[in-house]
Structure 1
Amino acid sequence: MKNIYPMIKSSVGVFKEKNTKRIHFVFYSTSCHKVFEIENECILKSILLMDGTKPLLDIFLKINLNFQQFTYKELEECTELLLKEGIIENTNDPIREQFTTEELERYSRQVDLWSDYCDLSSPWELQKNIKESTVAIIGIGGIGSWMATSLVMAGIGNIKLVDYDRVERHNITRQLLYTTEDIGREKIKVMEMKLRSINPNVNIFPAHMEIDEGTDLSHIVESCDLVINCADNPDINTTAQWVSKVCLKYKVPHIVGGGYIGHLGLIGPTIIPGRTKCWDCYQINYKKRRKEGKLLTNLFPDRKRHTGATASISSIVANFQVWDAIRLLGRIGDPNIINKTGEIDLNNLSIRWNNLSEDDLCEVCSEYYI
């Protein structure tokens, strides 16, 4: 405790209840409200001195000067409780020293959020986990462009971008960072330049390539902590099958980046090899649901399907999955979109979840899945 510089978290409000000895701590980020009855006036005086500029011993000596009955052990016990309850943090944090002054300023508000949602000894440890991660995004269009931007803003350390397309005018209404001046340019080059301008601390590795069933993705996947598939040519289900096969080989977590059909947004899933059901399990579930519907014959099999799209739905779908990525990479907790997919309806903002059943297991997953 000697080296701790305690500070009430900036996201925590401290209030004294009139005519009582109760102190209220309000967590603004989570709407949590904790109340403690403080009988010892010295404890309250100590809390008021916890501004992050003084070590715990200095706080004790200042109080003890006028209240000699107050012991250092009492202050230590109080501090331990406040740390455990997530009310204070230690500004003398060695992990902070691994970030530059610019990074400390850049990520400060974000780390305030981490401090409320994680039980790590230092919220900067979570940011460090994100900084040391490598993510590949395959397809940087309607979903991928938003996910790449959000992850770079969050401080992902290394990001691989895979795409072969060029910016078209109709992309600009829903795909982030592309502008009218970029029409005709390779998406990969435009995205690389603009992401670097957002966060120069991130290492960006662009790959101008189109994937198909025979594409060797090993050099993209094997060094990653997470792969996000947003490629939709010929369709998201087919590319998910290709990408998931390689990810399972290297045991790399991966997210199927969903998509949208008009006002409906498709969310997830997040797959962790060896811990969750895999893409083949989802195909078993999908085929079951297809059998329940009517059998229809497509009279225009060669016509490419186009559905309406807007930035509203693509950004919502993308950032649902970015939060899952951050939880996984930062080790803030288990991802939310595992063993299920979601469908968000933009008309009423409802989400319908399709949970895999115990019977939706491929041969591989049935060997390890509980």
Structure 2
Amino acid sequence: MRHPKVKPEHRPHRYADGTIRIGGEIYGVAAEIDDPDGWVWAALTLMDGSRTAEEVVTRLGQEFPALRARAARSVVEQLIASGYLEEAGAVPPPELAAREADRYSRNHAFFRRVDLTPREHGWEAQLRLRNARVVVLGLGGTGGHAAWALTAAGAGRLHCVDPDVVELSNLSRQMLYGEADIGRAKAEVAVRRLRAVNSDVTVTGERRRAGSQEELAEIIAGADMLALCADEPGGHVLRVWANRACAAAGIPWAGGGYNGPLVTAGLYRPGHPCYECVSAGEQARRRPGTPVDLGGPGVLPTSAGISGLLVAHAVISEITGVPDLVPGRVSGLNLIAPDQLIDVRHPSRPDCPVCGDAARRKAGLDREMNHTQNPD
């Protein structure tokens, strides 16, 4: 970083005792720094983008004669490595057209604030999203909102899959359709609407039902990630198919939905606890004989929308790494008891064929063989 400056979202504050607060009040991003001698505050003040990092080191040495050059350089280097600074005057990369930079300027501000990894220009997350191919399976209440959010955010290629036609009862929660669409294939209508949202995203679709794990594997072939928003055939069965098909393809997936006021989304990545292990762990935690209800017809547009947006957020986070969400976890909320947050995590079962010890060893061997055959 040649001309470092503090990101505007992380403008520091100094307390009376000399402690520095940087990163605002956001949990997981903000930090407090003990600065009894005032070195860090002076460095942050100097790093306004008008000086090189080496010039800041020199000025620190001049202001604090007792501060050795090595220590001054260490202060500057640690601040740069913290992720609270950015390169002054950085411009969008040439891969992004001016219209895209304008369209995604708010995305950029979000990533800049949340991403604490030093970057060359700050658009790296957007470029990763732009280069991704995502399959959205199921275009109902959850899937429609997820597909819209991914399109609006700039996922480069989006493939939308659903077997159904639009019905009147869909319109209370499925945002992509209107009364004039009743009787039309959801995939066809969704593609048309999503293309109108963002012409810079390549949106495709097909009217198709995933009737087996093999068919699901065909649908996700070539994708970077799956957003599973369908609930047929059988919610758990379909999730198991997705779990195994995505593991075989070596890609992550996110899935979510609603069960009355409960809204959840889960993120799964190869090499981490899989859906089947999380599901088995949660089942074992319940009292024997307790029925498991994975959803039903009770839904409001709010619960459908939140579930879809949580799935989209999981997909965006997994693709960009910002924020780096924990995989193998289901999270969500209860809309009638907002203080009851949902956070379900369970370890991999050693004998799990998807993420257990043997599966991880096999995946490691496969990666080694691929690297040997394709060293580049």
So what's the TM-score if we normalise by structure 1? 0.77
Maintained 8 Å contact 1:43/1:75:
no
Cα distance, 1:127–1:79 mapped onto 2, change above 3 Å: farther
Maintained 8 Å contact 2:138/2:229:
yes
Rg comparison, structure with higher value: 1
Tell me which of 297, 307, 314 is aligned to 1:307.
Answer: 297
Cα distance, 1:234–1:289 mapped onto 2, change above 3 Å: farther
2:118 maps to 1:109:
no
Q: SS in structure 2 opposite 1:259?
A: strand
For residues 142 and 117 of structure 1, the distance between their equivalents in structure 2, rounded to whole angstroms, comes to 28
Cα distance, 1:212–1:21 mapped onto 2, change above 3 Å: closer
- Any idea what the Cα deviations from partners look like across 1:60-81, whole Å, max 9, x if unmatched? 8xx99xx9x9xx9999766544
Maintained 8 Å contact 1:29/1:113:
no
2:125 corresponds in structure 1 to 126
Identity %, equivalent residues: 23
For residues 283 and 45 of structure 2, the distance between their equivalents in structure 1, rounded to whole angstroms, comes to 60
Tell me which of 271, 289, 310 is aligned to 1:293.
Answer: 289
For residues 214 and 42 of structure 1, the distance between their equivalents in structure 2, rounded to whole angstroms, comes to 57
For residues 363 and 217 of structure 1, the distance between their equivalents in structure 2, rounded to whole angstroms, comes to 18
Tell me which of 311, 325, 331 is aligned to 1:335.
Answer: 325
Cα distance, 1:16–1:211 mapped onto 2, change above 3 Å: closer
1:9-48 equivalences in 2 (<5 Å): 9-15=7-13, 25-27=22-24, 29-30=26-27, 32=30, 34=32, 36=35, 43=42, 47=45
For residues 275 and 32 of structure 2, the distance between their equivalents in structure 1, rounded to whole angstroms, comes to 43
1:192 corresponds in structure 2 to 191
Deviation of the 1:253 alpha carbon: 1.4
2:325 maps to 1:326:
no
Q: Which runs of 5+ in 2 are unaligned?
A: 362-376
2:346 maps to 1:348:
no
Maintained 8 Å contact 1:285/1:360:
no
1:263 corresponds in structure 2 to 261
1:302 corresponds in structure 2 to none
Maintained 8 Å contact 2:269/2:327:
no
2:278 maps to 1:278:
no
Maintained 8 Å contact 1:281/1:361:
no
For residues 322 and 203 of structure 1, the distance between their equivalents in structure 2, rounded to whole angstroms, comes to 17
Deviation of the 1:267 alpha carbon: 2.9
* Aligned residue pair count: 350
So what's the TM-score if we normalise by structure 2? 0.76
Maintained 8 Å contact 2:278/2:348:
no
1:232-251 equivalences in 2 (<5 Å): 232-251=231-250
Question: Structure 1 residues 210-219 or 239-248, which shifts more?
Answer: 210-219
Q: SS in structure 2 opposite 1:189?
A: helix
Cα distance, 1:295–1:360 mapped onto 2, change above 3 Å: farther
1:85 corresponds in structure 2 to 82
Q: Which runs of 5+ in 1 are unaligned?
A: 297-304
Question: Structure 1 residues 327-336 or 283-292, which shifts more?
Answer: 283-292
Maintained 8 Å contact 1:160/1:220:
no
- Any idea what the Cα deviations from partners look like across 1:345-370, whole Å, max 9, x if unmatched? 22102134443355474245331459
For residues 325 and 257 of structure 2, the distance between their equivalents in structure 1, rounded to whole angstroms, comes to 19
